[in-house]
Amino acid sequence: MADLNLREQAESDLGDTLEGEFALPVVLIGPGGITQTVNGQVLYDTIELNSDTGEPIVVNKPNVTLRRSSLTRIPVAGEVWFVEIPRDPNRTAELDKYVMTGDKPPAGGRSLGTITLYLQKATQV
């Protein structure tokens, strides 16, 4: 194995930090209708500050952070993707269906080799 510089080593470490023991399966279906299943960091909620009071509040905001180099096609802003994640933090849990849309584009992380997708609730038309 060739020597890796620090940046390359950091990206290589994503195999542990994002796709290792803490990871959950994520199913992505892109605009071409092609499915890819990867492991990634799945978070179901985040802590945000109430802009009026400064009080921290827990927001139900599912998002997944993935290793870019593990994706055969990387989502870009403005696209609509189906994203399925386990209902509970359990690798064998039933998958819930979400979508990623232009309402909330994916966040960078390119410097680290990651991409974060923000998931939205969807209902049948």
Residues that bind other proteins (CB under 8 A): 29-34, 45, 50, 59-62, 80-82, 84, 97-99, 101-104, 119-125
**Closer Cβ to other proteins, 4 or 76, answer by number:** 76
**Closer Cβ to other proteins, 21 or 55, answer by number:** 55
**Closer Cβ to other proteins, 15 or 25, answer by number:** 25
* Residues pairing with 64 in the sheet: 42, 117
| Least distance in angstroms from the C-beta of 50 to other proteins | 8
| Least distance in angstroms from the C-beta of 17 to other proteins | 25
Q: In what order do the strands lie in the sheet with 114-118?
A: 95-100, 81-86, 24-29, 35-49, 56-67, 114-118
| Least distance in angstroms from the C-beta of 58 to other proteins | 10
Q: Which long-range CB contacts under 8 A does 78-81 form with residues at least 24 apart? A: 78/102, 78/105, 79/30, 79/31, 80/31, 81/28, 81/29, 81/30, 81/31, 81/117
